[in-house]
Amino acid sequence: MYHSAPSPPQGDRSAYTGPMNTTLTSITRLLAREGLLADSANVFDEAGANGSGGAERGVSADVCGVDCDSRHAAPGHLFVCKGNAFRANYLAQALAAGCVGYLCDEARTGELAALCPQVPRLVSHDLRRAMALVSAEAWGHPDRNLGVLGITGTKGKSTVAYMLRSILDSDADGTRGAPHTGILGSIETFDGIEREESVNTTPEAPDLWRHLHNAATSGLSHMVMEVSSQALKYDRVVGLGLDVACFLNIGCDHISPVEHPSFEDYFESKLRIFDQACVAVVNLDSDKADVILERAARCGRTVTFSATGQGAGGAPAGAGDADVWAEGISSREGRIQMMVRTPSWSEPVTVSMPGLFNADNALAAIAICEACGIGRERVVAGLARVRVPGRMELLPTADPKVTGIVDYAHNKLSYQRFFSSMAQEFAGRAIIAVLGAPGGKAYERRRELPQEASKWADYLIYTEEDPAGDPVEEICSQLAAATPAGQDFEVIVDRPAAIRRAVELAFGYPQGALVCLLAKGDETLQHVGNSFVPCETDGTLFERAVGERLG
């Protein structure tokens, strides 16, 4: 346990002073104390003697940061040599930028020692864990000066994160205030200094701690972050204190040779989030809620929520079983309305998003706020104006019978929730879905997504979605092969052309149509090969295609 209490109100944390009294020697001692130090060279011991007779560089080298990307390297930083894509010239670039030493695994020791024999070197037999602990130490543990709110689950992490940011950035009177809140997730990274489209849901440890450092330095009060199963499994967040850990739901996803070998491994990885949190927030409607609650007991306090008024695992109960719950949930004209009950207040709440399933996400955000002592006014105001880029974004057209919707739905669970809600909210319309599957991971989606989408959609168009190292044609062929007999579909590899075709089809349905543009959301990059290639957003492509159609 790294914090002793839930997040205090904004402004109550002591001022962040940044990294202090961290040196190569103190980092060496930290690794030795944790049993992670395999070897070191050119680093002075406590008495000032250098056992390897090395360079003056290591005499009193202060360390004020850690990097694993040479583009972020700076004076006083330690550089981590990691990953299959690592090249020795990255270390040379980092040293030229002012890094005072490096951390590597045993396999690279000989190569790098020959490259720079006089440079301080730390070697670990568990590089990932070592990298995380060293990063926290070198960046000065900025999590101690922030309210860090972590969210995990198979579906809904990004939406809950943006709901929380909208709430936390509301002032006490309910009006929108200055940005108080950083965000780390699959859509965007914002830390008060850097703002960019995200590459990983949860960054590697050196980048994570740099963002936390930036957030504390720039005066943000909270960091809302999505915590992925990969981050938990591979120790990216080791040493991070979470004020609140929220577990939304669990489904079968990310099962592949390069991710999780089994559902059990995936589930266990996610459960680890409770090992480093003060307060747990748990969805009683989730599958395996009883197991989740048992693990959540490791935290000092648990707050539960439910959109159905059920007990753990769906057992008949009363709404009183959940700390936070709702009744009278409805969705119309792109907004959700519900009566929310919490231990602190009861009031009608409007969420400025379509999709009945987003009631669950809103309740998760409300439960987190309940755990943090965030007041009703800010909660209600924040949810009334929340916008999540690329999440359930309605795209109306001049013809009221044709509407587009952009969403990041990309796995079986999200498809189930997305399509069931859209079929209800747009009853009577044809449903056209433009979808794909990623390359190099989550191979089960190539089978599950066509099968799930076919339960709801009138027409499917398979196209590119971050193919990475896999041929797009091969991915689409596998999607097509998994399509149930009788389902209308076609393959159009080029995504802009696929969206144009969807718009063309939509205007041909006399009953009207909903065009569902899935998985890419608001993204402006397409992962092709080893590069991220600029692309237009699905919304932009849809609006252009409609404009061409309607003249």
Q: pLDDT at residue 400 above 70?
A: yes
Strand ranges for 106-256 from DSSP E: 121-124, 147-152, 181-184, 188-190, 195-197, 222-226, 242-247
pLDDT band at 5 (very low <50, low <70, confident <90, very high): very low
Q: What is the mean pLDDT of the chain?
A: 90
Residue 44 or 304, more confident: 304
As a whole number, mean pLDDT of residues 12-27 equals 79
Task: Collect all residues with Cβ–Cβ distance below 8 Å to 418 and sequence separation of at least 6.
Answer: 355, 357, 407, 409, 516, 518
CA pair distance 219, 227, nearest whole angstrom: 23
pLDDT at 47 over 50: no
Of all residues in the chain, what percent carry a pLDDT higher than 70?
Answer: 91
CA distance 153 to 364: 11
Provide the percentage of residues in the chain whose pLDDT is more than 90.
Answer: 79
CB atoms within 10 A of CB 146: 22
Positive or negative, the Cα torsion across 276, 281, 283, 289?
Answer: positive
Average pLDDT for residues 2-14, to the nearest whole number?
39
pLDDT in tens, 447-489: 999 999 999 999 999 999 999 999 999 999 999 999 999 999 9
How far is CA 352 from each of CA 100, 385, 388, rounded to the nearest angstrom? 50, 6, 10
Listed residue (247, 253, 215) closest to 151, CA to CA: 247
pLDDT for the residue numbered 282: 98
| Residue 502's pLDDT band (cuts 50, 70, 90) | very high
Q: Check residue 9 and give its pLDDT.
A: 36
| Spacing of C-alpha 461 from chain mean position | 27
Confidence of residue 4 (pLDDT cuts 50, 70, 90): very low
Write down the pLDDT at residue 177.
61
Residue with tokens 């149509």: 513
> What distance in Å separates the CA atoms of residue 335 and residue 339, rounded to the nearest whole number?
14
Number of other residues whose CB lies within 10 A of the CB of residue 441 = 19
Between 184 and 200, whose confidence is greater? Answer: 184
List pLDDT tens digits, range 225-247. 999 999 999 999 999 999 999 99
Section 95-104 average pLDDT: 97
Please give the pLDDT value at position 175: 60
Three-state secondary-structure class, residue 328: strand
Give the per-residue pLDDT at 60: 55
Q: Are 228 and 261 in contact (CB under 8 A)?
A: no
| More confident of the two residues 118 and 57 | 118
Burial class (CB in 10 A: 0-12, 13-18, 19+), 482: middle
The yes-or-no verdict on residue 51 having pLDDT over 90 is no
* Number of Cβ atoms within 10 Å of the Cβ of 2: 16
Residue 141 has pLDDT above 90, yes or no: yes
Statement: residue 50 has pLDDT above 50: no
Angle at 206 between CA 202 and CA 207, to 5 degrees: 50
- Whether 520 has a pLDDT exceeding 70, the answer reads yes
At residue 59, the 3 state secondary structure works out as: coil
Q: What is the DSSP string of 518-532?
A: ES-TT--EEEETTEE
Residue 319's pLDDT is: 42
* Choice between 2 and 335, residue whose per-residue pLDDT is larger: 335
For the ranges 51-55, 76-80, 108-112, the lowest mean pLDDT is seen at 51-55
Residue labelled with tokens 């909660």 = 379
Nearest to 232 by CA among 211, 202, 196, 255: 202
Mean pLDDT of 177-206: 91
- Span 516-545, average pLDDT: 95
Mean pLDDT confidence for 386-397: 91
pLDDT band with cut points at 50, 70 and 90 for residue 254: low
Lowest mean pLDDT among 51-65, 128-142, 199-213: 51-65
What pLDDT does residue 401 have? Answer: 94
The rounded distance, in Å, linking the Cα atoms of 355 and 392 is 7
Please check the confidence at residue 392 and state whether its pLDDT lies above 80: yes
